Amino acid sequence: MEVTMPQLGETVTEGTITRWFKQVGDKIDADEPLFEVSTDKVDSEVPAPQAGYLSEIVVPEGETVPVGARLAVISDDAGAASSAPATPPAEPAAETPPVEPEPAPPAPAPPPTPQTPAPAPAVPAPAAAPAPAAAAPPANGGGTVTSPIVRQLIAQEGLDPAQIRATGEGGRITRNDVLQAARARGATPAAPAAPAPAPSAPTPASAPAAQPVAGASGDETVPFDNIRRRTAEHMVRSLATSAHVYTSVRVDFERVERVRRAHQAEWKAEEGFSLTYLPFIVRAFCDVVHEYPHVNASVEGETLIVHRDVNLGIAVDLSFNGLIAPVIRNADGKRLRLLAREIRDLAARAKSKQLSPDEVVGGTFTITNMGPFGTTMTFPIINQPQVAIMATDGIRKEPVVVESADGDDAIVVHHIGYLSLAWDHRAFDGAYAASFLNDLRVVLETRDWETELA
């Protein structure tokens, strides 16, 4: 059976194979993770469509192919796997030379040889550089790069494709080949970085950045992976696009805490997970946002698109290896229990890379929850093209002044936390943002939350 690149979302046309979980000859169970694919929206693990043996891998790691492309072959018996490896090399070998036949010969020719020794005196590794350079071209023909991700990595690392040992099928350079070459080079990345600042204007900015790398020989070079690169591009673009302003409000969560504590055991027995503060905050947001529709909007050129539906993105940390914001559709029409279930489900599937690309697009507002890490006040970056994002921070016991029934002031201990809103000044002004947060605070502090859990 042939394994092809699946259609992972309506707008997804191609994907990059970032990892094969099985190798040729390995036994596979149906629905067992077979490979990981990265798109411009999400990284996903794709299960095997049937049980059998992996007899052929057509597309190696690091390659980008369109939806429907042939990726691998699964056979019913192990014998088919043993004969398969002889066939693939012939196929890609015929395909790869036409892709980039001309760049390969010039690379090992005279140009690389004079250039390689030049930087070598500056960096104490002259002996190591010529050895791989000489070995790589004969073994791999200089290596052929066909993946955009691999090309970006090579450019980031300042490497010469002709001197990278290619282990992919047909002499292709994979992502792992680039990382291996970067590790073998050690501290050399500082050398190519030096010429770059010369023609550019921001000389003072680049000089200090390059210095620490060159100064410490034990430093590790960690190239951005796909999700890190996409996050960086998205955040930098957002800061350059939106007129960011930050407004915070202090919230007394005591009423929420008492209801949460009273129902925790029963909730956990019924739902299988703990009842946190986040569903209460989401429910309160859904109540208030209709009074402030410009918060649930996006900017297009010089117009504000106010969205009718509330599609709420919930930022999820992927075990410190990235961030993604799956979307709860029509969140304003759901009660607290259903919201809690969806938050839990989306977070769990995000962490196990089971989300589809369609589940992370179309958000109209985003909430990022730093509370579990005990933060006090977070100032997030807006998730474009939305006009606002709200951070929920740690909730802890603090002394507060309250008015008793007889009108006297008293100091009591309540659960206190902060909500911080990052908003785009192009969409509305400070009074609008402050009023929205204040109304949200009032709902959280005064609502009868018992009825929500009934």
pLDDT computed for residue 103 by the predictor = 44
At 107-117, the pLDDT tens digits run: 444 444 444 44
392 pLDDT more than 90 = yes
pTM, two decimal places:
0.64
Q: How far apart are CA 378 and CA 381, in angstroms?
A: 10
pLDDT computed for residue 348 by the predictor = 95
pLDDT computed for residue 81 by the predictor = 53
Percentage of the chain modeled with pLDDT above 70: 76
pLDDT computed for residue 445 by the predictor = 97
Count helices and strands in the chain by DSSP H and E runs? 13, 18
Which of 90-104, 118-132, 161-175, 420-434 has the largest mean confidence? 420-434
Q: Which residues pair with 139 in a beta bridge?
A: none
pLDDT computed for residue 236 by the predictor = 95
Q: DSSP secondary structure string, 31-48?
A: TSEEEEEE-SS-EEEEE-
pLDDT-based confidence at 437, cuts 50/70/90?
A: very high
Q: How far apart are CA 268 and CA 53, in angstroms?
A: 41
pLDDT computed for residue 149 by the predictor = 66
Average pLDDT over residues 332-361: 93
248 pLDDT more than 90 = yes
Q: Known catalytic residues?
A: 425, 429
Average pLDDT over residues 12-29: 88
Percentage of the chain modeled with pLDDT above 90: 48
DSSP letter for 27, please: E
Of 161 and 442, the structure prediction assigns the larger pLDDT to 442
Who's near 251: CB < 8 A, 6+ residues apart?
Answer: 416, 417, 418, 419, 441, 444, 445
Who's near 202: CB < 8 A, 6+ residues apart?
Answer: none
Distance (Å) of CA 136 to CA 164, 326, 394, 443: 6, 43, 54, 66
Q: DSSP secondary structure string, 308-374?
A: SS--EEEEEE-TTS-EE--EETTGGG--HHHHHHHHHHHHHHHHTT---GGGGS--SEEEEE-GGGT
Crossing angle between the packed helical segments 430-446 and 254-271, to the nearest 10 degrees: 70
pLDDT-based confidence at 9, cuts 50/70/90?
A: low
